[in-house]
Amino acid sequence: MTTDGEQRRSDRDMPSTDRGTLPITGVEVENDADLMDQALAEARLAEAHGDVPVGAVVVRNGEVIARRHNERELTGDPTAHAEILALRDAAAVVGSWRLNDCTLVVTLEPCAMCGGAAVNARLGRLVYGAADLAAGACLSLYNVCDDPRLNHRVELVAGVEAEVCGRLLSDFFAVRR
């Protein structure tokens, strides 16, 4: 645990400065909390079309290169999770499926599909807000991002703006029950 309640796990020794800011390819990225605010803004867009409010941004060299939100209801596509869409867009920007120098910031702990996509994309770092006790595959139910049996491990930071992320989801579901 870090001093602000975030959990950090890594198979690399990357130096940490204040509140989750880490160097990626020699350039310091924005604060994780600021990036989570951008993911939260994206999540709120999902609500407008009836999708669960989950948002994601992908950062490379200090620049947001992709931002998406859930679109399952909008498109009828069961794979249209914010993380999958953001990783696809990021790969298009980078020109490669290998996103080892990128960070994915997402408002909800990724499911098995999205955690697996992060591993398969060779993602360098994953930051999430609220834990998903029902389907979370990065810490809550499974440990896909740090499974030693897989060919890649993703550095993980959990719990960034967790209360705000969790409240957005709770409010969404409270209206629908």
Quick one: pLDDT at residue 162? 97
| 29 vs 38: CA distance, rounded Å | 14
| 156 vs 123: CA distance, rounded Å | 10
Average pLDDT score over residue span 125-148: 97
Query: Residue type for 88, please?
Result: R
pLDDT in tens, 150-177: 999 999 999 999 999 999 999 999 998 7
Quick one: pLDDT at residue 176? 86
In the residue annotation, 83 being an active-site residue is answered as yes
pLDDT in tens, 90-135: 999 999 999 999 999 999 999 999 999 999 999 999 999 999 999 9
Contact 66, 84 (CB under 8 A): no
Strands (E), 2-151: 7-9, 23-24, 27-28, 55-60, 63-69, 102-108, 125-130
Q: What's the mean pLDDT when you consider all of the chain?
A: 87
| 144 vs 110: CA distance, rounded Å | 10
Q: Looking at the predicted structure, is the pLDDT value of residue 51 above 70?
A: yes
Structure tokens at 119: 């591993």
Q: Looking at the predicted structure, is the pLDDT value of residue 41 above 80?
A: yes
Q: Looking at the predicted structure, is the pLDDT value of residue 17 above 90?
A: no
Q: What is the pTM of this model?
A: 0.84
Catalytic pick among 83, 109, 155, 161: 83
